[in-house]
Amino acid sequence: MSLGITLDNNTGLNNQWVVTDSQGNILGLPPMPGAVDFDGAGSGTCLIWNLSFADGLTGAVVGNNALTDLVGDYGLSNPVTVYRNQPEGGSLLGGPFTFCAGDGEADMLPAGAITLSGNAGTNS
């Protein structure tokens, strides 16, 4: 699966992909962006960066901040933003329903037979 991320004009002997939260706190150091599974992370925003660096760099560890805790000769790319949204569909309650189809009588659910709860979207 292609994430549509292109690394261009990187310099340095070494490169590392870096995933941070929106404040620059390092959440992961994957071998490539496609290796990251954002499914279990919940709602929020992540940033994907590429870190190009010379030998001797310190501070590139999970929990540190990529914007303030890196020490050495390095360059941090611009970030690619990943928005993680939770489904807002809610839950349906009601039924099961049984109808005798084809008997010539209307088969409709009565008003209030299905209840939608927990939906958070502006449209439904």
In a domain, 62, yes or no: yes
**How does pLDDT run across 55-80, given as a tens digit for each residue?**
999 999 999 999 999 999 999 999 99
DSSP output for 82-124: EEE------EEE-------TTSSS---PPTTSSEEES--SS--
Residues 117/93, Cβ–Cβ less than 8 Å: yes
**How does pLDDT run across 79-95, given as a tens digit for each residue?**
999 988 766 666 666 66
In a domain, 47, yes or no: yes
pLDDT at 1: 43
Say yes or no to pLDDT of 3 above 70. no
φ, ψ dihedrals at 40, nearest 5°: -85, 0
In a domain, 109, yes or no: no
The pTM score is 0.68
- Higher pLDDT residue, 50 or 113? 50
17 class by beta-carbon count within 10 Å (0-12 exposed, 13-18 middle, 19+ buried): buried
Say yes or no to pLDDT of 98 above 90. no
In a domain, 90, yes or no: no
Domain span including residue 34: 14-84
End-to-end CA distance of the chain: 31
In a domain, 9, yes or no: no
Residues 77/70, Cβ–Cβ less than 8 Å: no
Q: What is the number of structural domains in the chain?
A: 1
Residues 20/27, Cβ–Cβ less than 8 Å: yes
**How does pLDDT run across 19-56, given as a tens digit for each residue?**
999 999 999 999 988 888 887 777 788 999 999 999 99
pLDDT at 121: 66
Rounded Cα–Cα distance for residues 39 and 62 (Å): 19
